[in-house]
Amino acid sequence: MKKSNLPSAKNPSSRRIQVRQSGVHGKGVFARQDIPKGETIIEYVGEIISAQEAEDRHPHDPTDPNHTFYFQIDNDRVIDALHGGNSARWINHCCTPNCKPVVTEDRVFIKAKKNISAGEELNYDYGLIIDEPMTKKLIAQYPCWCASPKCRKTLLAKKSKSRKEKDNNKDKANEIRKTIKKLKAQLKRLTH
């Protein structure tokens, strides 16, 4: 049986928040009262599955392939909130978020990163990592509509130096492969 982190009792903190239509995207989660910085607001729950299982299940909705209820815990484990999820699954992304997810072993808690006022929409930085070069096409597949003055225009994570280096190395390796292929073809022509 697959392991799940479903809570045994309804989270009492869920009374402080409310799910309703968001101006950013679809449904969102809003504070019903002031929430001080540092407070744990809600646990992100759902079925814990392997990264491979998550890939196999993807997309949940073929007409909207980049929409998921996944939370990536680490390289191996993903929470699929489509199964057994609570209100946390409706929290939208923001590039200057007021919440942050805190991962402790196999549990994820959404905490207030700032003082949040009643009525404010809750959000955290999804920081999506897709193992592909950060092209305009990829960015367009994961647009961000958070409207923050510091919006990155994408739900994708800012690329770290090591990821940039990895991509540059991949590009160089591809160039070398192409050159070898050309040289092999030339050699073949010369020897026949």
Q: State in Å, rounded, how far the first CA of the chain is from the last one.
A: 62
- Candidates 30-38, 84-92, 112-120, 171-179; binding stretch for ligand SAM (CB under 6 A): 84-92
Q: Is 81 in the site for Zn ion (CB under 5 A)?
A: no
Q: Is 68 in the site for ligand SAM (CB under 6 A)?
A: yes
Looking at the chain, the number of H-run helices and the number of E-run strands are 3, 10
Cβ burial 148-168 (10 Å sphere, 16+ → b, else e): eeeebebbbeeeeeeeeeebe
Q: What is the DSSP string of 30-77?
A: EESS-B-TT-EEEE--SEEEEHHHHHHH--SSTTSTT---EEE-SSSE
Q: Under rule CB under 6 A, which residues in 38-67 are in contact with ligand SAM?
A: 66-67
Q: Which of the listed partners (ligand SAM, Zn ion, none) does 151 bind, with a CB threshold of 5 to 8 Å by partner kind?
A: Zn ion
Taking CB under 6 A as the criterion, the residue among 16, 25, 58, 107 binding ligand SAM is: 25
Closest separation in Å from C-beta 83 to ligand SAM: 13
Taking CB under 6 A as the criterion, the residue among 87, 89, 98, 99 binding ligand SAM is: 89
How far CA 172 is from CA of 25, 143, 166, in Å, comes to 39, 28, 10
Taking CB under 6 A as the criterion, the residue among 28, 46, 97, 101 binding ligand SAM is: 28
Closest separation in Å from C-beta 145 to Zn ion: 7
Q: Is 35 in the site for ligand SAM (CB under 6 A)?
A: no
* Binding footprint of Zn ion on the chain (CB under 5 A): 95, 144, 146, 151
